[in-house]
Structure 1
Amino acid sequence: MNQPGLPAYQRIAAAFRDQITSGALPPGRQLPTEHEIAREFDVARQTARNGLALLVAEGLIVARRPAGHFVVEREHMIYRPQDESRPQPPNPTMDRYGQQITAEGRVPSQKIEVALIEAPADIAERLEVPVGEVIVVRRRLRFINGEPVNTNDSHYPLDVVQGSEIMAPADVARGTNQVLADLGYPQTRATDQFFWRMPTPAEIHRLQLGRGTPIVIHYVTGYTADGRPVRCTVNLLPSNHTIVVERTFERAWQ
């Protein structure tokens, strides 16, 4: 696209951006070298470098020194919110997420951390506890073929899960929902809330997002039969990775 009003480095970025978004430059394709771009656009090599840097910041290309620059290959995740309420797979070494990604012929992995935190306002509201009360969070960063695709952070009242497997930074073979049930807090329904916004710097770093990438926030709050909220899971889903195929705004466990 010819945009003569733009600075030269922005015209370079716009030209390659158009080729990437149109599919003319497919994922994994190598871009011309800085020298070749400078010659094609009749600019200094530094100007070509600045144009490429803009595309790197936008998350459209990646620099692999010394080979050059390549169009980013995205690992999309099919996201099914209702899977939260389905039983764990029979394989004790694989959760629902791992089962899904493996069935697609890709390699799942995740990092799990557990911490005691002071409940922030959004979680405190959903768990119906005072802001600042100490709660438990299980943070999971999920990967497909080594690329981070979403975060899954589950929050629990401390008095509900203290001393249980939920407090350990490892996968729970029987599933955390079953742990809650075995502790005497079976969930009979859950509510889903979806929001869209720009990510915070911490979220950009954690998910390795390109500049200008919005995220979807999915809150899942699970309740016992007497109406007590015992779990609030927050899923962060990059808009350039995730395909939401089903949504359930309120559901009951069988």
Structure 2
Amino acid sequence: MADEHEEESVWPVQDQIAAYLRDGILNGDFPPGEKLPSSRELHGMFGAAAQTIRNAITILEKEGLAYTRRGAGVYARQHRQRTMEPASYKNPPGDGGKYQWIAAAEQKGLSAKSELLSVGEVVPPVAIQEAFSLSMGEVALLRRQVLYLDDQPCELVEVYIPLDLAQGTPIMENQKIRGGVGRVLTEAGLPPLRCVDKVAARWPTPEQASALRMPTKLPVLRQFRVTYSVDDKPIQAEIMAKAGHLYELRYDF
């Protein structure tokens, strides 16, 4: 197997080993409390030196996926990856109460919260300009926040709103909005009727890695969503960077 890995991958061997073990833990092939393959077995599979294998285990320990029992080996830890259903969280709370994702987390025994980082007018990325049909240099409103599960930052959210829809509303204010931006737009006669999501795995930007406290060199799930209202008018666009070791997305068709 060592030759196979060398031919197919340009990754450092320690990253290959970490990826193999990580996939097994997240897929349930190595259940919580089960001993992971030994150094001898991993050497046979990857042809790796003892220190390289140890480096791979250290990566998994930093990610909270494995732990070492001195003299007994390395074991899989109960992982913290949560399943999110984006289609279930489109609409704002009807009574201006809790967001659906917060209520869903609490039903699972988790604590969930958001922290507003900033609110301001910016020239948005090209993808946002195209979604809103903005001309070059035209600004939109940006609201940035971090979402937490059990005090662990799990998602950096950037919400862009066309300036003509935000002006004169609480959306412009540098404070949290009860019921969120969606409630304000809905009350203005612009309810969310259709969402288009594009999801890709990418290496995090330095800002994303810092905000999410990424423990190792892991990708993030980048979810780009445009929300449309009456007459298919785009009313907001979001760039959501989700920590790859904490999230998976579920879609039912």
Matched, 1:181 2:177: no
Distance 1:180 1:140 in 2: 19
Q: Who is 2:241 aligned against?
A: 236
Q: Deviations over 1:93-147 (max 9, x none)?
A: x322211111111111222223322111011111111233221111222121122
Pairing 1:5-84 to 2, within 5 Å after superposition: 10=13, 14=17, 17-18=20-21, 21=24, 26=31, 48=50, 50-57=52-59, 60-62=60-62, 73-84=79-90
Aligned partner letter, 2:173:
A
Shift in Å, 1:76: 0.8
Contact 1:217/1:235 (<8 A) preserved: yes
Matched, 1:199 2:203: yes
Matched, 1:113 2:114: no
Q: Deviations over 1:69-113 (max 9, x none)?
A: 98563231322324212x406473x32221111111111122222
Q: Who is 2:177 aligned against?
A: 172
Q: Who is 2:156 aligned against?
A: 151
CA distance 1:30–1:130, shift in 2 (3 Å): farther
Distance 1:25 1:137 in 2: 42
CA distance 1:214–1:91, shift in 2 (3 Å): closer
Identity of aligned residues (%): 15
Structure 1's unaligned 5+ residue stretches are 42-46, 248-254
Contact 1:75/1:147 (<8 A) preserved: no
Distance 1:108 1:245 in 2: 22
Contact 1:191/1:221 (<8 A) preserved: yes
Distance 2:159 2:14 in 1: 44
**More displaced stretch, 164-173 vs 120-129:** 164-173
Contact 2:204/2:220 (<8 A) preserved: no
Contact 2:14/2:52 (<8 A) preserved: no
Distance 2:39 2:15 in 1: 8
CA distance 1:29–1:220, shift in 2 (3 Å): farther
Q: SS in structure 2 opposite 1:149?
A: strand
Distance 1:3 1:186 in 2: 57
Shift in Å, 1:63: 8.0
Q: Deviations over 1:4-27 (max 9, x none)?
A: 8989x9479738954872557655
CA distance 1:212–1:90, shift in 2 (3 Å): same
Q: SS in structure 2 opposite 1:61?
A: helix
Distance 1:111 1:226 in 2: 33
CA distance 1:215–1:209, shift in 2 (3 Å): farther
CA distance 1:234–1:16, shift in 2 (3 Å): closer
